Amino acid sequence: EVQLVQSGAEVKKPGESLKISCKASGYSFTNYWIGWVRQMPGKGLEWMGIIYPGDSDTRYSPSFQGQVIISADKSINTAYLQWSSLKASDTAMYYCARLRPQDFDYWGQGTLVTVSS
């Protein structure tokens, strides 16, 4: 059974760094792209970027390029999304999802990130 299990909710202050994770199981992690999707409170879905764990090839949405870093560790079947300096506007739910290769067929449960002073 394919599963994507994300790390727990985070509460951070502006300027702090953060790395959230997405652990995959039930399929060959290195053979599928993994994507990250942002959903701000009460808003729609936004595609942030994707990574191919097989060779770490990474693509970013222009809106998120330079704002976040997407990475993966294929030895532990885990993808990551990280910030070096959080802003209040980063407050959102973040989802990881498997790309099949055009549609996202499996999704994580989401990680809520709250940035507040």
Shortest separation between residue 96's beta carbon and other proteins, angstroms: 10
Phi (first) and psi of residue 88, to 5 degrees: -60, -30
Contacts (CB under 8 A) with other proteins, residues 43-102: 44-47, 49-50, 59-62, 95, 97, 99-100, 102
- Contact pick of 32, 52, 80, 104 for other proteins (by CB under 8 A): 104
Please tell me what DSSP assigns to residue 8: P
Q: By C-beta, is 8 or 117 nearer to other proteins?
A: 8
Structure tokens, 116: 């507040």
Cβ closer to other proteins: 35 or 53? 35
How far is Cα 21 from Cα 33, in angstroms, rounded to an integer? 15
Please provide the DSSP assignment of 9-23 as one string. PEEE-TT--EEEEEE
- Bridging pattern class, strands 111-115 and 10-12: parallel
Contact between 36 and other proteins (CB under 8 A)? no
CB of 69 to other proteins, least distance (A): 16
Measured in residues, the chain has a length of 117
**Which residues form the interface with other proteins (CB under 8 A)?**
35, 37, 44-47, 49-50, 59-62, 95, 97, 99-100, 102-110
